[in-house]
Amino acid sequence: MNEEKEPILRAENISITFGGLKALDRVSLEINPGEIMAIIGPNGAGKTTMLNIINGFYKPDEGRIIFEGKERPKKMKPNLIAAQGIARTFQNLALFTGMSTLGNIMVGRTMLMHSNIFSQALYWRFSQKEEIEHRAAVERIIDFLQIENIRRTPASMLPYGLRKRVELARALAAEPKLLLLDEPMAGMNLEEKEDIARFVLDANEELGYTIALIEHDMGVVMDICDRIVVLDFGEKIAEGTPDEIKADPKVIKAYLGTAGG
Amino acid sequence: MFYRECGNFKDNYASDMAIFPIPLDRYGFIVMLILALIVIPLTATDYWISSIMIPFYCFALSAFGLNILAGYAGQISIGHAAFMAVGAYASLILYGRYGIPLLPSILGGGIVSAAVGTFFGLPALRIKGFYLAISTLASQFIIQWVIVHWRWVSGGVFGTVEAPDMQIFGWALDTPVRKYYLVLCIMILLITFGKNLVRGQLGRNWMAIRDIDYAAEIIGVNLYRDKLIAFAVSTFYAGIAGSLITFCYYGAANIEEFHVMVSFALIGMIIIGGLGTILGSFLGAGFFVLLPIAINQSLGAFMDVVPSDILSNIEAIIFGGLIVLFLIVEPYGMARLWHTIKDKMRLWPFPY
């Protein structure tokens, strides 16, 4: 990795409070293009809050976010942030249950489709051509994530593991510059975890996506991530490569624990 | 055994994304079209055409409009009859007072209704669910009040606006069959457009908003814009339906025909018919328009034995009972019932 590369996203001194609780306290982090970065930490450390701030759900009380060299205005709507190229998945699944797998993934391409309402109503030439092009792109993602057989299944009827995968597909369909994954492997068995880890690696290496993820499975995190940021009680306590993190006494004390307990 | 999906291979996305990918569905649809376009006008009596089929189509169109809003986009409206009224008055004024040709007048009715509907859709940007329901209920009463008290529109409290004789390109629409064709053609056209919308990107955005709005926003759906478009499209359909039913059935715009009970009936139609389906709009409209007539006709046999006031109460009781029965049997509406039957047919006669 090129050391001098400008980070794709830089969060500087982010603070946010909920009621009296300081969820994040002057946290800064950087995400470099082309890397897989992990945010880890114990429950309630502010990991998901950080993700929510990055994609615009929450507005930070203090601090600023610089995406691709441009500072983000204070009150920017999440859909505009998505249009800049940030996509994410959710810790608690957020699939559109009334639609099929295909429909869910097609929604992911909403920002890339431009035919207006009248052209869509006629379903004529440009609109139809666009629809077919995007359908083809979605089929490539379906193929990539190996979910061909559930293409037409309503999302409400999918088992948990596949729902997570469809959500990943939906985020990939947006072709984001930065992909945020909130516990993509939570609640999965070993085999499913291996699948998802493989997809994350492939998305990073083959498709070139920049990925930031939250995960509790340390084995997976240490194996697939280039860089790790550790949060504890809303503060950043460490940052570095997996090997550095493993050896960091503060991280061991706060989160990892020692082999002997 | 008869209804088969297999052996029906697609080699391009266009055919896979057709409205009726399965041949049997396609044939069924063509049969329905022939029935509506040729058989009914040729065989049905004037009474059937002008008093049953025309209101049925108009209410189906209006119910479909409401279905776009409630069934697809997940935004409730308890004031849809008022938007029908807006369309009705607007098109009558355009046609009768300003002499604009019939089809542009009807279109104008829809556009005016859409503009008013978009305005009353603004609360949806901030509130949802029950709160939105109440704010749209307010739209019903506000529009009603304005129409009644704005003399320029209705000519005063007891005023109605007569529908003048209709002409298209100098061709008089005077017989029920001609009016029937007018309603049918516009309805088919608009339903086709609507189907294209709901299966396209806009429809997917709507469904995404309906299912989980924050996830939709995160993925890039513009909530504000798409909710307002849903209101505009939905009330456009209501406006067209209102102007058609006034031109071709009522004969005069009268606010009493667009009372809040009609709004409730429209909601009943889409719930009984099936939220988020086009078939459901038709089934629901059929339920609410045709069934009371059927009950009325079949109870006519007891006219000599039972006093007529009791008979009319019995009618209402039977109708209400049927609504409850249908909702118990299939809470997701008659369209779902139809899908269940199709699923069963797919496996018949070996259900395993």
pLDDT digits (tens, 9 = 90+) for B222-234: 999 999 999 999 9
Chain A, 72 to 91: residues with Cβ < 8 Å from chain B are 77-79, 82-83, 87-88, 90
Chain A contact set for B193 (CB, 8 A): 121-122
Q: What mean pLDDT value characterizes chain B?
A: 87
Chain A, 1 to 60: residues with Cβ < 8 Å from chain B are 55, 57
At residue B115, the pLDDT reads 96
Contact check, Cβ <8 Å, B196/A123? yes
Write out pLDDT tens, residues B5-51. 666 667 777 777 777 777 777 888 889 889 988 888 888 888 888 88
Largest pairwise CA distance in chain A: 68
At residue B351, the pLDDT reads 63
Cα A96 to chain centroid, rounded: 17
Q: What is the DSSP letter of B251?
A: S
Q: Looking at this predicted complex, what is its ipTM?
A: 0.89
A·B CB contacts under 8 A: 103
Helix, strand, or coil here: B8? coil
Chain B contact set for A157 (CB, 8 A): none
Phi, psi of A213 (to 5 degrees): -135, 155
Chain B contact set for A127 (CB, 8 A): 200
Contact check, Cβ <8 Å, A135/B17? yes
Contact present, A68 and A75 (Cβ < 8 Å)? no
Q: Which of A219-223, B140-144, B156-160, B246-250 has the lowest mean pLDDT?
A: B156-160
Q: What is the DSSP letter of B163?
A: P
How close is the nearest chain B Cα to the Cα of A247, in Å?
A: 37
At residue A92, the pLDDT reads 85
**Of A68, A88, A91, which is closest to residue A78 (Cα–Cα)?**
A88
Q: Is B197 on the interface with A (CB under 8 A)?
A: yes
Rounded to whole angstroms, how far apart are CA atoms A239 and A226? 11
Rounded to whole angstroms, how far apart are CA atoms A184 and A164? 7
At residue B170, the pLDDT reads 74
Q: What is the DSSP letter of B155?
A: S
Contact check, Cβ <8 Å, B202/A117? yes
**Of A33, A39, A42, which is closest to residue A9 (Cα–Cα)?**
A33
Query: C-alpha distances in angstroms, B245 versus B18, B52, B190?
Result: 31, 11, 15
Which has more confidence, B188 or B310? B188
Q: Is B11 on the interface with A (CB under 8 A)?
A: no
The mean pLDDT of B96-108, rounded to a whole number, is 90
pLDDT confidence tier of residue A1, bands split at 50, 70 and 90: very low
Q: Which of A108, A123, A135 sits opposite B219 (nearest CB)?
A: A108
Q: Which of A107, A123, A131 sits opposite B219 (nearest CB)?
A: A107
Chain B contact set for A139 (CB, 8 A): 13
Q: Which of B13, B17, B201 sits opposite A120 (nearest CB)?
A: B201
Q: Closest-CA residue in chain B for A91? A: B215
Chain A, 109 to 148: residues with Cβ < 8 Å from chain B are 109-111, 113, 115, 117, 120-123, 127-128, 131-132, 135-136, 139
Contact check, Cβ <8 Å, B201/A131? yes
Cβ count near A137 (within 10 Å): 17
Contact present, B313 and B295 (Cβ < 8 Å)? no
Q: Which of B14, B16, B208 sits opposite A107 (nearest CB)?
A: B208
Between the two ends of chain A, the Cα-to-Cα distance in Å is: 36
Contact check, Cβ <8 Å, B219/A110? yes
pLDDT confidence tier of residue A197, bands split at 50, 70 and 90: very high
Which has more confidence, A79 or B344? A79
Cβ count near B346 (within 10 Å): 14
pLDDT(A3) > 70? no
Contact check, Cβ <8 Å, B217/A77? yes
At residue B80, the pLDDT reads 93
Contact present, B80 and B64 (Cβ < 8 Å)? no
The mean pLDDT of B131-155, rounded to a whole number, is 89
At residue B1, the pLDDT reads 44
Query: C-alpha distances in angstroms, A208 versus A67, B230, B238, B295?
Result: 18, 37, 48, 66
**Of A35, A107, A51, A174, which is closest to residue B202 (Cα–Cα)?**
A107
Q: Is B256 on the interface with A (CB under 8 A)?
A: no
Write out pLDDT tens, residues A68-126. 888 888 888 888 999 999 999 998 888 999 899 999 999 999 888 887 888 888 777 78
Rounded to whole angstroms, how far apart are CA atoms A135 and A127? 12
In chain A the domains, ranked by start, together with CATH numbers, are 9-99+160-256 (3.40.50.300)
Q: What mean pLDDT value characterizes chain A?
A: 89
Rounded to whole angstroms, how far apart are CA atoms B65 and B71? 10
pLDDT(B151) > 90? no
Q: Is B223 on the interface with A (CB under 8 A)?
A: yes
pLDDT(B3) > 70? no
At residue A50, the pLDDT reads 93
pLDDT confidence tier of residue A258, bands split at 50, 70 and 90: low
DSSP B252-289: EE-GGGG-HHHHHHHHHHHHHH-TT-HHHHHHHHHHHH
**Which contacts qualify for A21-29: CB closer than 8 Å, 24 or more apart?**
A22/A234, A23/A49, A23/A234, A24/A49, A24/A50, A24/A53, A24/A60, A24/A234, A25/A234, A25/A235, A26/A62, A26/A63, A26/A235, A27/A63, A27/A231, A27/A234, A27/A235, A27/A236, A28/A63, A28/A236, A29/A229, A29/A236, A29/A239
Rounded to whole angstroms, how far apart are CA atoms A45 and A32? 22
Q: Is B204 on the interface with A (CB under 8 A)?
A: yes
Q: Which of A77, A107, A127 sits opposite B205 (nearest CB)?
A: A107
How close is the nearest chain B Cα to the Cα of A227, in Å?
A: 25
Chain B contact set for A109 (CB, 8 A): 201
Beta-strand relationship, A178-182 and A210-214? parallel
Q: Is B201 on the interface with A (CB under 8 A)?
A: yes
Q: Which of A108, A121, A132 sits opposite B196 (nearest CB)?
A: A121
Rounded to whole angstroms, how far apart are CA atoms B86 and A135? 39
Q: Which of A48-62, A183-197, A232-246, B158-172 has the lowest mean pLDDT?
A: B158-172
Q: Which of A97, A107, A171 sits opposite B204 (nearest CB)?
A: A107
At residue B103, the pLDDT reads 92
Q: Is B323 on the interface with A (CB under 8 A)?
A: no
Cβ count near B307 (within 10 Å): 9
The mean pLDDT of A7-29, rounded to a whole number, is 90
Rounded to whole angstroms, how far apart are CA atoms A100 and A166? 10
At residue B7, the pLDDT reads 63
Cα B332 to chain centroid, rounded: 18
How close is the nearest chain B Cα to the Cα of A78, in Å?
A: 6
Q: Which of A106, A115, A121 sits opposite B193 (nearest CB)?
A: A121
Chain A contact set for B229 (CB, 8 A): 117
Q: Closest-CA residue in chain A for B220? A: A79
Label residue A26 left, alpha or beta by phi (over 0 means left) and psi (-120 to 50 means alpha).
left
Phi, psi of A143 (to 5 degrees): -65, -45
Q: Closest-CA residue in chain A for B202? A: A117
DSSP chain A: --TTPPPSEEEEEEEEEETTEEEEEEEEEEE-TT-EEEEE-STTSSHHHHHHHHTTSS--SEEEEEETTEEPPSS--HHHHHHHTEEE--SS----TTSBHHHHHHHTTGGG----HHHHHHT-THHHHHHHHHHHHHHHHHHHTT-GGGTTSBGGGS-HHHHHHHHHHHHHHT--SEEEEESTTTT--HHHHHHHHHHHHHHHHTS--EEEEE-S-HHHHHHH-SEEEEEETTEEEEEE-HHHHHH-HHHIIIII--TT-
In chain B the domains, ranked by start, together with CATH numbers, are 30-347 (1.10.3470)
Helix, strand, or coil here: B171? strand
**Of B72, B73, B221, which is closest to residue A173 (Cα–Cα)?**
B221
Confidence (pTM): 0.90
At residue A2, the pLDDT reads 47
Q: Which of B13, B210, B218 sits opposite A98 (nearest CB)?
A: B210
Contact present, A183 and A91 (Cβ < 8 Å)? yes
What angle in degrees, to the nearest 10, is found between the helix axes of B260-273 and B308-329?
Answer: 40
pLDDT confidence tier of residue A179, bands split at 50, 70 and 90: very high
